[in-house]
Amino acid sequence: MAKVEREAAHLQGPAHAFDAILGLGTNLGDRVHNIEEAIRRLTADGSIRVVARSKLYRSAPWGVTDQDWFVNACVAVQTGLSPHALLKQCQTVENDMGRVRTRRWGPRIIDVDILTFRDLEIADSDLTVPHPLIAERAFVLVPLKDVAPELKLNGRTIDAMLEKLDSREVQPI
């Protein structure tokens, strides 16, 4: 896929409140600890600073349903990193925490996704921002609403996207 990086007119949110929104999920081991540890590791060197944080949510598995439930969260962050440097940092945290990629949407110790990055739209072989499956995932939208309630993607509010989904299986811990 050809690299595309441009301002995304379809992404609207509070200017300068945050640079990126990260989605975190885990369904192995001590799930709450895994989320906390991932955030600690992401922010350890000072290049990423959390400016808003969602509650932790318990959610049913999505995509591959024959696995344990997940704990999910979102954090809005400020960073001077480029989108690809942020991705590298997220993947380093995943790898250092023992993430093993065996099957798509399968069990994981930690998953850290870049959901949005400023007002950019990026589509290349390594990174797609905004994350292409946000509107299909209540377990992303519910915590996303905690950190960026006014966010719009493609002109749609988080509430409008949630109306099309069953969010009953996404419960605060």
Phi-psi region of 86 (alpha: psi -120 to 50; beta: other; left: phi over 0): alpha
Q: CA dihedral defined by 69, 144, 20, 56, rounded to 10 degrees?
A: -50
Q: Which residues are catalytic?
A: 99, 108, 111, 113
111/99 Cα distance (integer angstroms): 8
Instruction: Report whether 139 contacts 72 (CB < 8 A).
Output: yes
> Residue 11's Cα: distance from chain center in Å?
15
Any idea what DSSP says for residue 10?
T
How far is Cα 59 from Cα 127, in angstroms, rounded to an integer? Answer: 25
Give how far Cα 153 sits from Cα of 10, 27, 30, 96, 120, Å: 6, 27, 33, 32, 12
